[in-house]
Amino acid sequence: MSSEFDLIQIEGGNVQIFDSSSDLRFDVGYIDSEEVEIRWMIKDEGITRYDGKSEFQSETNEWERIPIHHHVISPCRCVLIIDVIVEEQRIHREFGIISAGQTSSHNSSENWVIVPKNPVSSIDQQIVDITYIQDGAITDFDVRWGIQSSQASESDCLDGLHDSPSVEQWIVVENTFNSTEFSIVQDLSSFGDGWWTILVQQGLDGNWSSWIGCTDIRLDITSPSIDLSAPSKVPESSVPVVIDASSSSDSFWGREELRYIWTITEMNSSNVARTSVGESDGLFNLSAEDSGTFVVNLTIVDQVGHTNSTSVTIDIVNQRPNAALRIDGVPTNDGETIRLSNKDGWAIDAYYSTDTSNDVASLDYVWYLDGMPILSGIERTLERPENDAVQHTLMLVVTDDDGEVDSSSLMFGVIDTPSDPEIQGSSMVLLTGALGSIIIILIAAYLLMFMRQDRVPVVRPWDFQSQKELESEATSSRTESESN
């Protein structure tokens, strides 16, 4: 589609003088639609003199010309309005000035006419350059402009003419002008977003025209604000992470027309950043299937192209699996000792093992018997070991897709074999009982000996030297008796 400002080209210019009835030819730029309609009207100080529609003439490849009925409008300094309607929506308006018959003196600004050439419906810059057209002044003249707030549906700007402006301050343009078409630079930076009406007057020596040209604008010079909410750390899961920017908004225009552009970059990865346009609700679902550190950047674009960006970093953390071992459908505890039925094999499974929902289906299961890997898979049959004389160790090792590992192990023996935990437990009880009996007997013997020792009478110890002395005394006595 052609640029908004050059969509309509009026042959002979936008300001023309007609001394008699004639036709006004115009061209329309390319429009990518089959439903294009041209409507026009000629107005004299707010009063419509006549109006009509122009049809496209396929034979001549041009639009039907606009008739200028001199006898109908003269004398008049009228405003020509051409509207381009596409699919029942006005996409462009072009103003022209038609002068017919005798008009007021060029030295008097009272009846001068000034209107915007292409009324701009939306402005997204602080400094704008607007083109105006005028008829009446042929020498240097002054221009001033002002601005006042308005409502889209209740504006007093009617077809380029404003009857009762309430401008707080008029700004006089420093330059003077002397042509029917000119541009002025207007600084709108001190005005906030919203609906406004720009008004313009021309004058001479401080005398301003009674005609006040106008155009309603949608002013949008403020970038949208972003309110982004997201967790900084989450576990791996099949449930996505919801990133919420639904509270983002444009200060005046709301959030209905905002566009959300999301870019996902994985840190410390060679993966290419992914960019997508999000839904209008401002919510984005980030996959939590794989662990990693992700930078989520959001750029919001408003209706006129103003942008704002921010980003958050989210760590998606892998969770270690939890190994759970069952034998013949019976859950077991890590580290316990169990008795197995006396048969050739037993069903073993890891169905009670758990992990995050995204990893549980891809877990790797390896089974070890006495430290040696023997089986893999979530469900298998454990064959009976050849050696029934000793107990055996069964261990399950569960590994997820990130290499995180957990295990569960147990000791088992077979019922009614030497490895039966109960038989080995009974032998230990007998041995313990025998040792206890021996200890009791020894203690009893010791006590008995101690008690008997207490009942034995005290016997004087045998004194060999004393006995010899007694025997010697007795011999001496006997010798003395014999001598007498």
Please give the Cα distance from 250 to 254 (Å, whole number).
Answer: 5
Which CATH number covers residue 200? 2.60.40.10
Residue type, 401: D
Q: What percent of the chain has pLDDT over 90?
A: 65
* Rg of the chain, C-alpha, whole Å: 54
Please give the Cα distance from 400 to 69 (Å, whole number).
Answer: 87
Same domain, 444 and 369: no
Same domain, 194 and 119: yes
Residue 188 corresponds to which tokens in the numbers above? Answer: 């709108």
Please give the Cα distance from 195 to 174 (Å, whole number).
Answer: 27
Average pLDDT over residues 175-204: 92
Residues 54, 25: contact at Cβ < 8 Å?
no
Same domain, 378 and 432: no
Which CATH number covers residue 33? 2.60.40.1930
Comparison of pLDDT for 151 and 350, the residue scoring more: 350
For 111, other C-beta atoms within 10 Å of its C-beta total: 15
Q: Mind listing the pLDDT tens digit for each residue in 194-208?
A: 999 999 999 988 889
Same domain, 16 and 72: yes
CA-to-CA dists, residue 263 to 297, 298, 320, 429, 443, angstroms: 5, 7, 29, 71, 86
Phi-psi region of 401 (alpha: psi -120 to 50; beta: other; left: phi over 0): alpha
Residue 305 corresponds to which tokens in the numbers above? Answer: 């192209």
- Given this model, what pLDDT does residue 399 score? 96
Please give the Cα distance from 41 to 51 (Å, whole number).
Answer: 4
- Given this model, what pLDDT does residue 460 score? 37
Q: Mind listing the pLDDT tens digit for each residue in 377-433?
A: 999 999 999 999 999 999 999 999 989 999 999 999 999 999 999 886 554 444 344
Please give the Cα distance from 5 to 115 (Å, whole number).
Answer: 15
Residues 220, 193: contact at Cβ < 8 Å?
yes
Query: Phi, psi (5° rounding) for residue 466?
Result: -65, -40
Q: Is residue 283 part of a domain?
A: yes
Same domain, 137 and 75: no
Same domain, 259 and 292: yes
Residues 298, 309: contact at Cβ < 8 Å?
yes
- From 58, 83, 103, the end of a domain falls on 103
- Given this model, what pLDDT does residue 444 score? 54
**Sheet hosting strand 181-187, strand order edge to edge:** 113-116, 127-135, 181-187
Comparison of pLDDT for 324 and 269, the residue scoring more: 324
- From 103, 138, 155, the end of a domain falls on 103
pTM of the full predicted structure?
Answer: 0.66
Q: Is residue 88 part of a domain?
A: yes
Q: Is residue 265 part of a domain?
A: yes
- Given this model, what pLDDT does residue 122 score? 84
Provide the 3-class DSSP secondary structure of residue 235.
strand
Q: Is residue 412 part of a domain?
A: yes
Same domain, 176 and 94: no
Q: Is residue 108 part of a domain?
A: no
Provide the residue range defining the domain that includes 27.
Answer: 1-103
Residue from 182, 210, 204 nearest 46 by CA: 210
- From 278, 299, 317, the end of a domain falls on 317
Q: What percent of the chain has pLDDT over 70?
A: 85
- Given this model, what pLDDT does residue 476 score? 42
Domain count, the chain: 5
Which residues 6+ apart lie within 8 Å of 127 measured at CB? 185, 186, 187, 188, 189
Same domain, 206 and 138: yes
Q: Is residue 227 part of a domain?
A: no
Q: Is residue 228 part of a domain?
A: no
Please give the Cα distance from 28 to 228 (Å, whole number).
Answer: 45
Residues 273, 296: contact at Cβ < 8 Å?
no
Residues 294, 266: contact at Cβ < 8 Å?
yes
Q: Is residue 482 part of a domain?
A: no
